[in-house]
Amino acid sequence: MKKKLILLLVLIVALATGCSPAKDTSTTKKRSFQDMAGTTVGLNVQVNTAISCWPSGTQILLTLGAADKQPAYMDILKSKSFVWMQTVNPAMTGKQSIAASSDNIASAKEIMLLNADLVLTDTKNNADAYRRTNSPALCVYFSNFEELKKSVKMIGDALGGDAIAKAATYNDYLDKNLKLIQDKLGDAKNAAKPTVYYVDGQSGDSIYVTSGSGTMQEDWIAKAGGKLATADTIKGARKEVNAQKLLSLNPDYIVVGGLNQAAAYKTLMSDSSLSGLSAIKNGKVYLIPQGILQWDEFGTEAAWQAVWLAKTIYPEKFADVDLKGMVTGFYKTFYNYDLSSGYADDILAGKNSPTAK
């Protein structure tokens, strides 16, 4: 009788206040996504906050118009190496920092405390760790243009709303750039391809850290009508060769990328033992452009990397391609930022900031 009386009182109060007993709607508010690692993840229907523990993911979020959804940024992205990102998105410098550890990996605890609707990371192990604390983490990564498009679409679908259309617009933009290259190359697609040695200056100034087959570098070099010099002997990214190997490769072109590309370029050009390399003798050593992120490996600005290299290798075929105009147009369309002519020149010159040497 006592339990019935309590239940009756609850119903009377609910009716009097116009409320009804709460019900669990968690199952109806979730969407299922399968990430790049094959794990099915439940995401809220509405994503109001998103965290990226992966620099490329941060740039994709910016490209898809989700800057205002990011309450925190990786600490390294606030350093002097990423001034272009800070220039385009100045609000990020006042946001909370994450992943301030020496390995630039955010802990599961700090991600959990942010209570975001979406978390992006590029490794399965990190995604699993975040999900164990109930953070909705997607493992997203790419090592070629097709995977880049898949990543952009997945993140756009996860964000929902306008981001879905923006992801489709970006992927169409990338496809058009790649088609432009193929159309311009014409018969050169079937000719002997010049070899290109890639210097990975991401971690330091060594000129012997490079990439092999199965990498983003192999894809954009091939799309540009070249051949990665190390593709037949090395597999994967950030692999090391020695001076003897580089000399034996004797590449037609050398391109230098990564955060420390300026230092790596200086090391290369000052090493007298390598002065006999064809690329150096013929003046075919180039710094890769870099904007919000480095074009050679990360993010959505990779859409121009193959265009830049194709224009570098085959200048006569791409003489009418206005790469500078493409860059400024992209910044306006996707970042809503009016990139000045001087800043565009600095980006194309490979400077990581307007004040870089």
Higher pLDDT, 95 or 297: 95
Query: Chain-wide mean pLDDT for the chain?
Result: 91
Query: Which whole number is the average pLDDT over 46-70?
Result: 97
Query: Which whole number is the average pLDDT over 129-151?
Result: 97
CA distances (Å), origin 174, targets 72, 86, 103, 149, 180:
28, 24, 31, 8, 10
Query: Which whole number is the average pLDDT over 101-127?
Result: 96
**Predicted local distance difference test score (pLDDT) of residue 188:** 78
| Fold match between domain 30-170 and domain 190-348 | yes
pLDDT-wise least confident of 39-53, 190-204, 217-231, 306-320: 190-204
* DSSP bridge partners of 41: 33
Kindly give, in sequence order, each residue whose CB lies less than 8 Å from that of residue 181, ignoring residues fewer than 6 positions away. Answer: 223, 224, 225, 306, 307, 310
**Predicted local distance difference test score (pLDDT) of residue 4:** 46
Among 307, 252, 258, residue whose Cα is nearest residue 287: 258
Tell me the C-alpha distance between 186 and 142, whole Å.
28
**Predicted local distance difference test score (pLDDT) of residue 191:** 78
Higher pLDDT, 188 or 305: 305
- Taken in order 139, 144, 147, 149, is the CA torsion positive or negative? positive
Query: Which whole number is the average pLDDT over 157-170?
Result: 98
Query: Which whole number is the average pLDDT over 164-188?
Result: 96
Superfamily of the domain at 190-348: Nitrogenase molybdenum iron protein domain (3.40.50.1980)
Contact between 218 and 239 under an 8 Å Cβ cutoff? The reply is no
**What is the dihedral angle through the alpha carbons of 328, 333, 335, 337, rounded to the nearest 10 degrees?**
50
Query: Which whole number is the average pLDDT over 155-184?
Result: 98
Evaluate if residue 261 carries a pLDDT over 50.
Answer: yes
pTM for the model stands at 0.90
Kindly give, in sequence order, each residue whose CB lies less than 8 Å from that of residue 204, ignoring residues fewer than 6 positions away. Answer: 260, 263, 264
pLDDT-wise least confident of 127-141, 181-195, 236-250, 314-328: 181-195
pLDDT band of residue 9 (cuts 50, 70, 90) is very low
pLDDT-wise least confident of 18-27, 66-75, 155-164, 168-177: 18-27
Q: Which helix (H) or strand (E) holds 355?
A: none
Kindly give, in sequence order, each residue whose CB lies less than 8 Å from that of residue 188, ignoring residues fewer than 6 positions away. Answer: 225, 314, 317
Evaluate if residue 102 carries a pLDDT over 50.
Answer: yes
Kindly give, in sequence order, each residue whose CB lies less than 8 Å from that of residue 51, ignoring residues fewer than 6 positions away. Answer: 70, 71, 72, 98, 106, 111, 114, 116, 118, 119, 120
Instruction: Tell me the two tokens of residue 52.
Output: 């990226």
Tell me the C-alpha distance between 287 and 296, whole Å.
10
Give the E-state strand segments of the chain in sequence order.
30-34, 40-44, 50-52, 72-74, 96-98, 118-121, 137-139, 195-200, 209-210, 227-228, 239-240, 253-257, 285-287
Query: Which whole number is the average pLDDT over 281-297?
Result: 96
* DSSP bridge partners of 199: 256
Evaluate if residue 173 carries a pLDDT over 60.
Answer: yes
Contact between 198 and 221 under an 8 Å Cβ cutoff? The reply is yes
> Which residue has 């800043």 as its token pair?
343
**Predicted local distance difference test score (pLDDT) of residue 29:** 67
**Predicted local distance difference test score (pLDDT) of residue 357:** 67
pLDDT band of residue 22 (cuts 50, 70, 90) is very low
**Predicted local distance difference test score (pLDDT) of residue 30:** 87
**Is it true that domain 30-170 has CATH number 3.40.50.1980?**
yes
For the stretch 180-231, pLDDT in tens is: 999 999 887 677 899 999 999 998 899 999 999 999 999 999 999 999 999 9
Evaluate if residue 28 carries a pLDDT over 60.
Answer: no
Domains of the chain by residue range: 30-170, 190-348
